């Protein structure tokens, strides 16, 4: 008997989404720690190197935020794909009795 054609590795999807969220959380906390440390780093600092630092700091902070958002979006997309696969699998299993012989339980061939 053919099995339901919906195949999806739900466990791997769950692990991948969790890893995306974990990494996003790490990057968000890194971004916050850098913001706190910046105050001390720029105290009594002026001139060209301070201007370079400010520019690079702003750019890197934005890059971190962008990556956090990409990872969280990816985790959501993985969750959505798994949810859709569950619905398709449930529908397929409900609509097809894979344990019955071909043609249904009352059709055992000519009599």
**Predicted confidence (pLDDT) per residue in 53-106, tens digit:** 999 999 999 999 999 999 999 999 999 999 999 999 888 878 776 555 555 555
Which pLDDT value is given to residue 50?
Answer: 95
pLDDT averaged over the chain?
A: 88
- Return the C-alpha torsion angle 82, 84, 85, 87, nearest 10: 120
Backbone angles phi, psi at 8, to 5 degrees: -155, 135
CA distances from 5 to 9, 33, 80, 96, 100 (A): 13, 48, 19, 11, 17
Which pLDDT value is given to residue 109?
Answer: 46
In 3D, which of 82, 75, 79 has the Cα closest to residue 27?
75
The structure tokens 């999807």 sit at: 13
pLDDT digits (tens, 9 = 90+) for 21-55: 999 999 999 999 999 999 999 999 999 999 999 99
Read off the pLDDT band of 1 (50, 70, 90): very low
């Amino acid at each position: 008997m053919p099995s339901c054609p919906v195949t999806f590795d739900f466990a791997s999807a769950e692990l991948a989404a969790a890893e995306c969220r974990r990494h996003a959380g790490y990057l968000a906390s890194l971004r916050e720690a850098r913001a706190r440390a910046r105050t001390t780093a720029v105290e009594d600092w002026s001139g060209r190197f301070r201007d370079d630092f400010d520019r690079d700091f702003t750019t890197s902070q934005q890059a971190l935020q962008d990556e956090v958002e990409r990872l969280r979006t990816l985790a959501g997309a993985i969750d959505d794909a798994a949810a859709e696969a569950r619905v398709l699998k449930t529908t397929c299993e409900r609509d097809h009795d894979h344990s019955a012989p071909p043609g249904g339980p009352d059709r055992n061939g000519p009599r």
